[in-house]
A and B are shown apart, each in its own frame.
Chain A
Amino acid sequence: MSTQMPTPGPQCRSVSSSPFLLSNIPYSNHAPSLFFGLGSGHPFANYWTNRGGLPEVIGVLPSRDQADILVAKYFDAVDPVYPMIHRRNFYADYERFWSLPLSEKQVADPVLLALHFVVYAMGTQFTQMPSEQERAQMAGFYASASHQALRLSSYLSRTSLRTIQAMVLVCYFLMNDNHASDAWAFGGVLMRQAYAMGLNRDPDIISQRCSRSDKQQRRKVWQAVLFQDTFLTVLLKLPPTGIFSDVRVDSLTDDLDENIMNGNPSNGAQDPVINPMSISNIAPMSDPHPPHEISDRQYIRSMWHLANLVQKTVCTPRSLSNPLTNSMPNKASLISSYNELFKSFPANMTVSDHQAIAGLSSTNPRLLRQNLFFRSNYWHCVMIIQADVNEARGVTCDVRGALEAARMALASFLDFWEFLRVDASVWWVFQHRAFEEAVRLTYSILQVIENISCNFWNISIDSSTDMLR
């Protein structure tokens, strides 16, 4: 039986090396390089005039009915997996904005418009339309309006929690729109701005005057920034950026009393930031949180713990072309760390048997989405570690472990396709992980057949090199 492995290009031979690293670009090459082979044009089409200002952006709003549908779609498809927007506050601002006369809309906060438009853009991405091209154009148009609103807000020199939320979503929009290169670059600006506003710092230390609600919101948004940075880094094999933080995962507690405020501080806590025009005062509600708030927080903490571990054990060594482990016991210990973390997560987050997944699809699609995203990310990283090779230190690929982990990761994609097909067809991150897992699986089978050397990175590089071409 004879099989031939594809041979990686000579420029990509080194183990664990990334073809995307700037250091791989010949110094003599002064022409701009397309890093990932994706998205050759600027992602935000320029429909805007110099003097158009915010009125021009307001002028391209969808109808209210259409906007309602897109926002609902956003909260249905995107919010479960990246729950960083306080739904009640979002809707309060949204209702208030839409109730304004045109003249007042035109002087609204441009960042509010940026957030609304990117929500419309993502809602459009997950809306079924007869033509995929039409859907992409419509979504791109809303994204362009969002970017223009960000520009009008001077987002490079002024930032806010809402700005960061809008930018996180712009990044995901770009990935889903096959602009991974642009998402990587935009994410860099996003991280700098998050640092600039101290989002990486423990709000109990640097934002003592914030309400408890605002502190929790800051933690959620920081987690979203960190999570995006970490797992995009896994796919692109570039250095992680969100590495400086003292926000503790467990500081995002399940305490839902945080919104008892505005002159009614409970448990003796002082809450000096009392806004008489806040939604809590204008329209007090007995239950400010949606019913899934607690399970959302469990999900956020789970992904946060995972991101912290992955950043340290996968992203950082890979970004410098280093092996992940330096001995077989070290590899076993690392896998054990992942196993321990896995056991600490809620069972409904990790369950993978088909009957349970089918049950979630009919009873709790929000939880199903969270389950699928967790499993995909977790098992993908376990696969990478199992496939790790460090020849100098005697670390070999664990074919069995890599094959099993790849199958577990891929199972989440196949479940996604079976139960949430539209979503599965949109999320670039999920598709690309599945692609890498399928390639890994194929080569694991071939390894069994051919007793070939195990080098997952070369496999990835083969693929990536093709993309560069």
Chain B
Amino acid sequence: MARILSVQDQPLSTADLSQSPASEPLSMLARADVRRTLEILELVGSSAPEMQKTRTDVLRSAFEEIPW
């Protein structure tokens, strides 16, 4: 977490990526938050299916970019 959080102190570099971000607690927590939010957004708003689909499609496609 500290390493990820320190990225602003120095340019984001490939050195930071030598380990999978999956091993970083903050990344893991953030990813879990997103996944949970996606699950909830898939449940709400069914009376406006287009809105629901747009939101979840956008979020899911972004989420799927996370390679771990």
Contact = CB atoms under 8 A, between A and B. Distances in A.
Interface string A409-442: 0110110010000001100000110110111011
B65 A414 contact: no
B48 A451 contact: no
B12 A132 contact: no
Contacts of A449: 17, 21, 66-67
B63 A425 contact: no
Interface in B15-46: 16-17, 21, 26-27, 29-31, 33-34, 36-38, 40-41, 43-46
The interface residues of chain A, by DSSP majority, are classed as helix
Interface residues of A, number: 52
Contacts, number: 126
A178 B48 contact: yes
Contacts of A441: 30, 33-34
Contact of A448 (B21, B34, B38, B45): B21
Given A435-B55, A451-B12, A451-B13, A442 B47 contact: no
A419 to B, nearest CB: 13
Contacts of A431: 41, 44-45, 55
Nearest to A179: B48
A39 to B, nearest CB: 8
A185 interface: no
Interface stretch (A64-72, A73-81, A460-468): A460-468
A153 B4 CA distance: 59
Interface stretch (A18-26, A163-171, A395-403): A395-403
Interface string A285-322: 00000000000000000000000000000000000000
Contact of B11 (A133, A413, A448, A451): A451
Contact of A5 (B4, B41, B50, B65): B65
Given A403-B30, A445-B30, A438 B59 contact: yes
Nearest to A386: B8
A438 B34 contact: yes
A411 B30 CA distance: 10
Nearest 10 interchain pairs by C-beta: A178-B48, A451-B12, A438-B37, A442-B62, A425-B44, A136-B47, A400-B5, A463-B58, A438-B34, A3-B65
26 contacts: A1-B17, A2-B67, A6-B61, A37-B54, A132-B46, A135-B47, A177-B47, A398-B8, A400-B5, A400-B7, A424-B44, A425-B44, A431-B44, A434-B40, A435-B37, A437-B37, A439-B59, A439-B62, A442-B62, A445-B31, A446-B62, A446-B66, A448-B7, A448-B16, A449-B21, A466-B57
